[in-house]
Amino acid sequence: MADNDTKDPPPPYSSLEPQPPLMTYEQVIHDINNDVTHKTVPYYVEKEPVKLEAIIVTQHTVLQGKNKSQGGCSQKTKCLVGWLVALLLLFGIGLAIGLGVHYGSKQNSGNYNDQNNGADDNYGDNHSGDSNQNDDDDHEDKNHIPDICSNSNLKCDGIKNCQQPSDETDCVRFGEGGVLQVKTAQEGQFLPVCYQGLDKSYADQICAQLGFRSSYSSSPVQGYTSAGLTLEPIADKLIQGLVNVSSSCPDEKAVSLQCTDCGKQQIASRIIGGSISNPGQWPWQVSLHFEGQHVCGGTLISPDFVVSAAHCFKGAMKNAVSWLVYPGAISQLNLPTAYLVKTITVHESYNSDTNDYDIALLKLTRPVDFSTTVQPICLPTFDQIFSGNQECWTSGFGTTTQGADHASSSLMGVKVNIIDTNLCNSTKVYGGAISNNMICAGDLNGGRDSCQGDSGGPLVCKAQNQQWYLSGITSWGAGCGEKNRPGVYSRLTSLQSWIYSTMQEEKP
């Protein structure tokens, strides 16, 4: 968390005695292609997997025939029978060897490919006794095996026709004011859901479909005179299969639905320009530890899920069982209760060269207990706009100066400005490197920025309703706090549909 205006930096992280990692690592803070710095510390370097040549041991049976001086075959028939038996025996041995080589090579080939796909599989073999390892393997399969759909597939018809099932995951979203919108196969576009007929059990079922445990609140919103979706009686179906298109909603009321009590800051006292955080100030911030060391940040979005950056989970760091999550942490010297990670899902389109789609979702093995110091952040609506006029902050345990050896021992927060994308993409800033899935924040004059170790942490903005919304995920930048080099974050309004889809697939 770089803050060049802070006169008294927080205590150095060097007072900690971190355990050495199991693998060789080095800090990688420079990208020669874009002159950028990934905001993570440390980055673990994958070891080249050992390539073993298969050794096949075969046993040959040598049949020694008697020569004529030793008597030979006494009868011609016995000789023929003996040779036939010998040939059949040799044929059987050859067939067994062939089958063994065939299936053995397939298995060895699969293991070799797994090694080449990343050191996480090689590393995971050392933890094969842990049941969570199977969950991590499932995650790998989902990211690489194409989804298989039936010929009768209709997107958003309420029937799961695909194996994973991707045809029914991107069918629900939230608009301005939290208005529930659903896409149906009948209409093919998102329409507001009418309020009439929605009770607490109906709201709970909709939120559970999205990966939440229940609903928090629902209320009517006036003024919906155009087409909407009326509710059928509740049944064990997806919401897109329980609505009908109507020319307008009864009483012109649509439903506003909130699945979690989110975005409420318990302590509001802050110092502009950066400060050490107090308990409950950023209650959605989590510290992610890999092999006993803080590596990245994350943001709590529900009792079961944390969002972070995809680049935090490379190679061996994809191994879910090696991570610990600390919600509510404000000091690395006094960590709260840790939570285990069940699965890590990295966006399937993540590009490590361009940093595009730099987002990952962590599912925890058990739900987090909320308190005054541990609370989830609100996810933005699909059309929510974050601008320089809003109050926005970024937080994390990253280094306080560029090139520092250790992360901060204290959680730091700094106020930043949302920077117009066109300006951030100009030649004097990042020259076209900012995609539609990125948002820039900081200060073009320098001095207020995230830094190494802040990766995966939150960029949050306060809305008019006084709730805080997750607008970005700390991703990359050139240096820390430099002029015309603001921080770059993954844009949540572009990626929130992926979050809901993944939560729906991984729901508790």
Residue 373: the pLDDT is 94
Q: From start to end of 301-437, where are the E strands?
A: 305-308, 323-327, 339-346, 360-364, 392-396, 412-419
| Burial degree of 283 (CB within 10 A; 0-12, 13-18, 19+) | buried
Phi, psi of 490 (to 5 degrees): -70, 130
SS3 245: strand
Tokens of 27: 């800090």
Q: Are strands 25-26 and 392-396 parallel, antiparallel or unpaired?
A: unpaired
Q: What's the whole-model pTM score? A: 0.71
| Angstrom distance (rounded) from CA 12 to CA 331 | 11
Among the listed residues 167, 204, 358, 454, the single catalytic one is 358
Among the listed residues 302, 435, 455, 501, the single catalytic one is 455
Task: Give the tens place of pLDDT for each residue, 144-202.
Answer: 455 566 555 578 888 776 765 567 888 999 999 999 999 998 888 999 999 999 999 99
Q: Which residue from 414, 367, 369, 425 is spatially nearest to 392, judged by alpha carbons?
A: 414
Task: Give the tens place of pLDDT for each residue, 62-97.
Answer: 333 333 333 444 444 444 555 565 666 666 655 555
Task: Give the tens place of pLDDT for each residue, 292-341.
Answer: 999 999 999 999 999 999 999 999 999 999 999 999 999 999 999 999 99
Three-state secondary structure string covering 248-286: CCHHHEEEEEECCCCCCCCCCCCCCCCEECCCCCCCCEE
| Burial degree of 466 (CB within 10 A; 0-12, 13-18, 19+) | exposed
Among the listed residues 289, 311, 347, 406, the single catalytic one is 311
CA atoms within 13 A on the CB side of 197: 15
SS3 290: strand
Q: Is the separation of the CB atoms in 448 and 414 below 8 Å? A: yes
Residue with tokens 């897109």, as numbered in its chain:
240
CA 328 to mean position of chain CA atoms = 20
- The answer to whether 358 is a known catalytic residue is yes
Phi, psi of 270 (to 5 degrees): -145, 160
| Angstrom distance (rounded) from CA 187 to CA 156 | 10
SS3 317: helix
**The CA-based dihedral angle spanning residues 293, 297, 302, 303, taken in that order and rounded to the nearest 10 degrees:** 20
**178 torsion bin: left (phi>0), alpha (psi -120 to 50), beta (else):** left
- The answer to whether 405 is a known catalytic residue is no
- The answer to whether 102 is a known catalytic residue is no
Residue 238: the pLDDT is 94
Residue 82: the pLDDT is 58
Residue 2: the pLDDT is 60
Residue 120: the pLDDT is 33
Count the helices and strands in the chain (H runs, E runs).
6, 25
The 10 Å Cβ neighbour count of residue 23 is 15
Q: Is the separation of the CB atoms in 466 and 139 below 8 Å? A: no
Tokens of 23: 């693998």
Residue 84: the pLDDT is 61
| Angstrom distance (rounded) from CA 110 to CA 197 | 53
User: 25-42 as b/e, with b when 16 or more CB fall inside 10 Å?
Assistant: bebebeeeeeebbbbbbb
| Angstrom distance (rounded) from CA 435 to CA 421 | 9
Under 8 Å CB-to-CB from 20, ≥6 apart: which residues?
none
Q: Let me know the angle formed at the C-alpha of 285 by 280 and 289, rounded to the nearest 5 degrees.
A: 125
Residue 482: the pLDDT is 86
End-to-end CA distance of the chain: 34
CA separation, residue 457 to residues 258, 288, 394 (Å): 23, 10, 8
Taking the chain (508 residues) in runs of 10, the rounded mean pLDDT of each run is 46 32 35 47 32 30 35 45 60 54 37 34 30 39 52 72 71 95 91 96 96 96 94 94 94 96 76 66 96 94 98 94 96 95 97 97 97 96 92 86 68 92 96 97 82 87 95 90 91 95 91
CA separation, residue 288 to residues 175, 400, 405, 420 (Å): 31, 18, 18, 30
